[in-house]
Structure 1
């Protein structure tokens, strides 16, 4: 007996609530942009410059005591965060201390780090320092620029690929879905103030690939059905195509989420931000493939002359671009 997350054959009308979907997605994107500019992201040391010290102790973390001990060092902005993880032992208490880069220095000096450790050991003699990471402001600025360029180039490459693979209407639909996914991911990180570092940029690029994969599967079926049902309205063809690929879409998303949720619960705090971004990306990526990319394609319309040439070797005139029959 096979497991079926959705019926083998479905006939759901995904465009019944098109206006609601467009309104909801637009509102979510506007809210995400406002959160980014008003609240901002909780940038990690990778992007701000400075030093992150990880502490472990047998007694509970007293954030106020830690902060009071470090006040006399005049280090500027210090962020102290207690880390919770189900995999920790009962007497394992972890904190992350972020110290901003000092004026005129590329990173916090070893002498300053030693002073921080000495002050904290007076608060709790059992405290240890498993890791210390430092990034200078010059390097962090370069990382910010590189991260923005990486995401922009990924989306541009998708635009060109889909344009060559299908038509420009498909391309704009796919890119709209990717921009939607990236914007909402940045918005949720701004709202929850989860640390935003290089690992999250890697997650964003992975989300771009995952969302594109879902979208291309739907678009491939759309193109096949446009050739098969030449007289049907575009909305009906899109609905049919989404229903035909729905089982595959849901199964892929659910199995991916099972692995990601396991990593989120058991993987530890080091990769938790990355995994959270991936979980969120899978959810919004699946949604956008149906309710953003397809809706944009429906609004733009598409060439309906998908007839084969006389010899059946490929699409005839007007049947898409010269690359539309390339398997990739």
Structure 2
């Protein structure tokens, strides 16, 4: 693999406009669906119904989950409650406006769970017993959601400041814009698959932010080195050179990580599958944006506001055009 890409010389920047079109084709329809239908939030965000179930012998959380899935009650939280015979089920079958639990939905959810367990385990109370039923509020309230978005916003600001000190503010701006692109495409991906947005999925999105930034910084560090090393090359060539030089590392790192997440998609249970799906897409879009979004953005920013390192690079001339002819010296007027 390393030998295959050791002397890579691909013109990545050439395909930037096709990359923009692909990005627009993912983001625009996805956000149209998001504005019309919103996201499918889990009971951690909306609240639901808590049902404590007791069985005469251990049946396992997987058995209860299978019974609920068969009845159409999906994405329920099932945990053992201190004893292998006691289980706590958090589920919902309806949402009201603003994500609040509908009035009367607690009884409806309890009845649906009771019916699903009776069908799978047998009639109550011989095979199971419902100990308590109560409505539960969301684990993640609106205030905590607002603080989470505020934390992401400040993380962008801190990243911009760090890259401005470590490199230049132009590098930081390109990296933050590329990361914002990753968040938009991931939200669109979640909307396309109608994945339930739980705390696990939120964790995958935050992991993607750090993963994408790390890859972008590695490429930008090589760009900075090459800007100082190859003063006679233009920025277009230096960006392509830097991406090709870091390509073996990118292929190996992202390939092995994606192999793990794909294995989780295929082999993990229903609880981890949304996380694995989001992470698999996040690895793809993070690599894609580092090459086709962050690098071209840096080129445009440096053209508009050339930094200290980029000022030494000669101006970019389209392929097929030669160097400008030297001008003949103008005769000086005689006095």
TM-score category (smaller protein):
0.7 to 0.9
Q: Equivalent residue of 1:293, what SS?
A: helix
Q: CA deviation at 1:167?
A: 1.2
Q: Structure 2 residue aligned with 1:56, among 23, 42, 63?
A: 63
User: Alpha carbon RMSD of aligned pairs, Å?
Assistant: 3.5
CA 1:228–1:157: 2 relative to 1, 3 Å: same
CA 1:134–1:266: 2 relative to 1, 3 Å: farther
Say whether 1:41 aligns with 2:39: yes
The match for 1:229 is 230
CA 1:118–1:146: 2 relative to 1, 3 Å: same
Structural mapping, 1:150-299, within 5 Å: 150-299=151-300
| Partner Cα separation in structure 2 for residue 138 and residue 62 of structure 1 | 23
| Partner Cα separation in structure 2 for residue 298 and residue 135 of structure 1 | 52
Q: CA deviation at 1:103?
A: 5.2
Q: Which moved more, 1:287-296 or 1:116-125?
A: 116-125
Q: CA deviation at 1:123?
A: 3.7
The match for 1:98 is 92
The match for 2:74 is 81
Q: Deviations over 1:83-134 (max 9, x none)?
A: 9xxxxxxxxxxx99524554579x95xx88765544434444448799x997
- Preserved CA contact (<8 Å) 1:170 1:297: yes
| Partner Cα separation in structure 1 for residue 3 and residue 14 of structure 2 | 22
Q: CA deviation at 1:215?
A: 0.4
Say whether 1:120 aligns with 2:113: no
CA 1:43–1:6: 2 relative to 1, 3 Å: farther
| Partner Cα separation in structure 2 for residue 146 and residue 190 of structure 1 | 23
Q: Which moved more, 1:121-130 or 1:288-297?
A: 121-130
- Preserved CA contact (<8 Å) 1:80 1:96: no
Structure 1: gaps of 5 or more residues: 67-78, 84-94, 308-317, 320-328
| Partner Cα separation in structure 1 for residue 69 and residue 9 of structure 2 | 57
CA 1:300–1:104: 2 relative to 1, 3 Å: same
Task: Give the TM-score normalised by the residue count of structure 1.
Answer: 0.73
Structure 2: gaps of 5 or more residues: 52-60, 77-88, 95-99, 313-335
The match for 2:13 is 15
Q: Which moved more, 1:26-35 or 1:190-199?
A: 26-35
Largest Rg, 1 or 2: 2
CA 1:291–1:135: 2 relative to 1, 3 Å: farther
